[in-house]
Amino acid sequence: DQQVKQNSPSLSVQEGRISILNCDYTNSMFDYFLWYKKYPAEGPTFLISISSIKDKNEDGRFTVFLNKSAKHLSLHIVPSQPGDSAVYFCAASGEGSNSGYALNFGKGTSLLVTP
């Protein structure tokens, strides 16, 4: 049962424009959300996280927005750079959920930033 869904397998964006990656979740007990970036042959690299008590968190070019009522979060990358081309994973956890401390991942979105 996939509790975290990334419905866009791929996304192509021009360099300098905004990249928006989306993520939906089904478990209302999730209260902590993370985004990871993964290059081929490497492990996931932590990008940014957000707690359910917030609706926005920024770190440089990366901003994560959380809409709890819609059970939806998004990652905005502005401006996008060719080096951002990677697979992006959304993950969620919640100590009160049926998965406890474990991270529940989506299947990932492959972002391609073209010059």
Partner 1 sequence: DAGVTQSPTHLIKTRGQQVTLRCSPKSGHDTVSWYQQALGQGPQFIFQYYEEEERQRGNFPDRFSGHQFPNYSSELNVNALLLGDSALYLCASSLGVRSSGNTIYFGEGSWLTVV
Binding footprint of partner 1 on the chain (CB under 8 A): 4, 31-32, 34, 36, 41-46, 49, 51, 89, 91, 93-95, 99-108
Q: How many residues are there in the chain?
A: 115
Residue 102 CA to residue 112 CA, distance in Å, equals 29
Output 101 or 115, the one with its CB closest to partner 1.
101
Asked whether the beta carbons of 87 and 106 are under 8 A apart, the reply is no
Q: Which tokens belong to 46?
A: 């932590």
CA gap 47, 64 in Å, rounded: 10
**Residue number with CB closer to partner 1 (36 or 84):** 36
In degrees and rounded to multiples of 5, residue 83 shows phi and psi of: -70, -10
Q: Which tokens in the block code for residue 61? A: 């070019």
Least Cβ distance, residue 105 to partner 1 (angstroms): 3
- Residue 9 CB, nearest distance to partner 1 (Å)? 9
Residue 85 or 104: the one with the smaller Cβ distance to partner 1 is 104
The distance of closest approach from Cβ of residue 15 to partner 1 in the complex, given in angstroms and rounded to an integer, is 27
- Minimum gap (Å) between residue 58 Cβ and partner 1: 16
The structure tokens 């985004």 sit at 35
User: Given the complex with partner 1, which of 19 and 104 has the nearer CB atom?
Assistant: 104
